[in-house]
């Protein structure tokens, strides 16, 4: 069976360039790597310890945790909001880090990529995200990186990734994820 990757974009925006990046990864993935783009972030409630037991018993938080748990690796594409990661992404990670949902990011290989419309291509957000992923005990993959700046220009009107350099670096990230999934 192929290695399974769950790909999470840290944006709720319908036309998110980070989600487009993940769709490109899914389309480019070799046959032995299955990349499923998660599309349920909008339904994840704000973390609240008071309702934690109730919220993790069923529903979208439980569904996300099950998908992460079943995956061999996680690919996160983060936007950059004010030099860090968006609150919706941090919120989802906080849920996944809890024992109540199985602490599913612990020991999980995670690769980080990102796209912004600014000049620096989410460098600060990715650094912030890697720091969070150390706290969750994830195996943060180092190696090939994607810091896509001026992100919208890399896609055509149909949302296909057309920038050759970005396609090449995304391919290297997929190779890294396949190796991590096999050896982990
Ligand atoms: C941004 N954006 C942004 N870009 C950047 O390169 N550095 C930054 O610090 C910020 N800060 C920031 C804050 C807030 C509140 C918003 C809404 C946006 C721009 C950001 O890169 C752009 O909106 C991307 O298109 C967001 O990614 P998605 O939603 O297209 O995936």
Query: DSSP code of 45?
Result: P
Q: Report CA(131)–ligand 1 centroid distance (Å).
A: 19
- Total tally of structural domains belonging to the chain: 1
Half-sphere exposure at residue 86, Cβ-oriented, CA atoms within 13 angstroms = 22
- Counting ligand 1 atoms within 8 A of each CB, the residue from 17, 117, 152 with the most, and so the one to mutate, is 117
Exposure string for 5-22, b = 16+ CB within 10 A, e = fewer:
bbbbbbbeeeebbbbbbb
Taking Cα atoms as reference points, which of 129, 51, 61 lies closest to residue 90? Answer: 129
Residue nearest to atom 30 of ligand 1 (CA): 16
Would you say the CB of residue 56 lies under 6 angstroms from ligand 1?
Answer: no
Question: What is the helix (H) or strand (E) element at residue 89, kind and residue range?
Answer: helix 87-96
Statement: residue 87 has pLDDT above 90: yes
80 CA distance to ligand 1 middle (Å): 5
- Asked if 28 and 172 count as a contact pair (C-beta separation under 8 A), the reply is no
Q: How far apart are CA 159 and CA 23, in angstroms?
A: 9
- The mean pLDDT of 26-31, rounded to a whole number, is 96
Ligand 1, residue 119: give the atom nearest the CA.
6
Residue 159 beta carbon below 6 angstroms from any ligand 1 atom: no
User: 36-82: per-residue pLDDT in tens?
Assistant: 999 999 999 999 999 999 999 999 999 999 999 999 999 999 999 99
Indicate the DSSP class of residue 143: S
Q: Whose CA is closest to atom 5 on ligand 1?
A: 118
pLDDT tens-digit series, residues 126-160: 999 999 999 999 999 999 999 999 999 999 999 99
Q: What is the pLDDT of residues 89-122, one digit of tens each?
A: 999 999 999 999 999 999 999 999 999 999 999 9
**Residue span of the structural domain in which 59 resides:** 3-183
Protein residue closest via CA to atom 6 of ligand 1: 118
Neighbouring CB atoms inside 10 A of 131's CB total 12
CA of 100 to the centre of ligand 1 (A): 32
Could you give the angle at the alpha carbon of 90 between the alpha carbons of 107 and 113, nearest 5°?
70
CB count within 10 Å of CB 27 equals 11
Selected residue with higher pLDDT from 184 and 11: 11
- Tell me the C-alpha distance between 3 and 151, whole Å: 28
Ligand 1 centroid – CA 122 distance (Å): 9
Does residue 16 line the site of ligand 1, with CB under 6 A? Answer: yes
**Which CATH number characterizes residue 80's domain?**
3.40.50.360
What H or E segment, with its residue span, contains residue 55? Answer: helix 52-57
Asked whether this complex has an ipTM greater than 0.90, the answer is yes
Q: Answer whether 133's CB lies under 8 Å from 105's CB.
A: yes
């Amino acid at each position: 069976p192929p290695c399974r990757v769950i790909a999470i974009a840290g944006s709720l925006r319908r036309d998110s360039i980070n989600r487009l990046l993940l769709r490109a990864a899914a389309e480019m993935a070799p046959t032995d790597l299955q990349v499923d783009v998660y599309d349920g972030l909008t339904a994840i409630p704000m973390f609240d310890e008071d309702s934690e037991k109730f919220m993790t018993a069923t529903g979208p938080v439980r569904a996300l945790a099950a998908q992460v748990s079943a995956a061999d690796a996680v690919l996160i594409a983060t936007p950059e909001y004010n030099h860090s990661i968006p609150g919706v992404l941090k919120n989802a990670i906080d849920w996944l880090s809890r024992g109540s949902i199985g602490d599913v990011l612990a020991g999980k290989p995670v690769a980080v990529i990102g796209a912004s419309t600014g000049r620096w291509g989410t460098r600060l957000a990715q650094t912030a995200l890697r720091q969070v992923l150390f706290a969750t005990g994830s195996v943060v993959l180092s190696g090939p990186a994607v810091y896509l700046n001026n992100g919208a220009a890399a896609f055509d009107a149909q949302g296909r990734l057309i920038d050759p350099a970005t396609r090449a670096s995304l391919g290297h990230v997929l190779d890294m994820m396949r190796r991590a999934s096999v050896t982990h």
